Amino acid sequence: MVFSSQIFLFYFLPTFLVGYFVLVKAGVKHSGLNFFITVFSYIFYGWLEPWLVFLMFGSTLVVYVSGRLISAEGASKLQRNMALLMAIVVNLGALGFFKYYMFGMGILNDIVARFGGEPFSVMTILLPVGISFYTFQSMSYAIDVWRGTAPPVKNLATFACYVALFPQLVAGPIVRYNTVAEELATRTHTLENFVRGIVFFSFGFAEKIFLANQVGIIADRVFAADAPGVINCWWGAFAYMLQIYFDFSAYSNMAIGLGLMLGFHFPRNFNGPYRSHSITEFWKKWHISLTSWFRDYLYIALGGNRVGKKRLYFNLFMVMFLSGVWHGANWTFVCWGLYHAFFMIVERANNKNALYYKLPNIVQILLTQVLVLFGWVLFRADNIGEAWRLWKAMLGLMPVSASDAILTAEIFTPSTITFMAIAAILSFWRFRSFDWCNTVSFKRALIALGLFVLASLALFTQSYNPFLYFQF
């Protein structure tokens, strides 16, 4: 189930909110409220594939037990380490099998074929929605308890609520347990927070329907074209650059809004990444909850920047390489991670500055976003060959199809140009949706409500409503 669907907006969410606040008004304790959230979260998660609920619960149970063993009175260092290892192995094992089994077997069969052997049979594995997010979230809890930076959970129901919390379950932001530990135990439900939550959710929903979906149509048509011309290639790549930002930023805003309605405060996940002056700065502002996860649980564990230069560059390489692998089982994601690793290492060697840092600010921003855009082409392409073909087409090094004129007429219309312009302005302007939504006023609440009504009406007319990060 996704937020931008009729079943969620008009059936699931109203039913949940009414039931939840009836319990709040009845004075039900937070343990009861958390159980209610968990039940609905499992319904939300298992709506299309009910068996996935058992997988998530299995992961939850293992990490919960690990946390209790780590924090047990009198536990030896070996016992604590083994308990942590159990949590990590089970979660990474599940993630590795469901996400990378088919990819790995494909590589193995390619190697076998080169030596004239018979290929192995490969099972078709369904990728569980959101497994990359909830496994990382669960592991962060186990590691934090092991480090002594998070309190161990004594109640399985409380921990199950933390893992399954539906507002951020399938696409983040990745929420650390310390962030919501107190609110799981006791939280306040205020009208101000609820209204702020409505503003966040409504704004994010409008971003998704009016911007991400509209520019996404342009991107899909260009990436599906046989041999698009230079202008169309750049237009399509830019459209995807805007689509992935607004698609994910919109989901994060909706998740933050739903959390506020229930009394939870989730962290900001984007902070104007397309105004960055370097790739290093870009990764401080893009998908903040994931980059901070890799920083705190991998980069620092490898030694961070407290090591020599060669080891420092290796640490950066590993973080970006694994970030690419985390995003998907495809060589395009691996190469995308390596692409960003190259620029991160170059900039670290230049005191975290881009090579063009002495140029005017606007030029630095534009050059950085051109690099990001070329990376998004690699990220979006089905394979390396397609990415290479599109890169060459963007540089005018590929023949142009006779149908390119038809494509131009389809993707350059008054409406598409308008949506692209609005999306571009909101991306590159100093405007921050998080800051705008976080300040409650009557005027902003009315604007958000109006956007929600218009976006809801538009939803009924749209047949194109993908969610890009659903695949991760």
Active-site amino acid positions:
327
Token digits of residue 7: 């079943």
Residue 216: C-alpha distances to residues 221, 337, 468, 471 (Å): 9, 23, 10, 16
Q: Could you tell me how far CA 118 lies from the centroid of its own chain?
A: 39
Residue 234: C-alpha distances to residues 3, 197, 211, 319, 388 (Å): 30, 37, 18, 29, 14
CB-CB contact of 163 with 134 (8 Å): yes
Peptide bond into 173 cis (omega under 30): yes
Token digits of residue 84: 């942590």
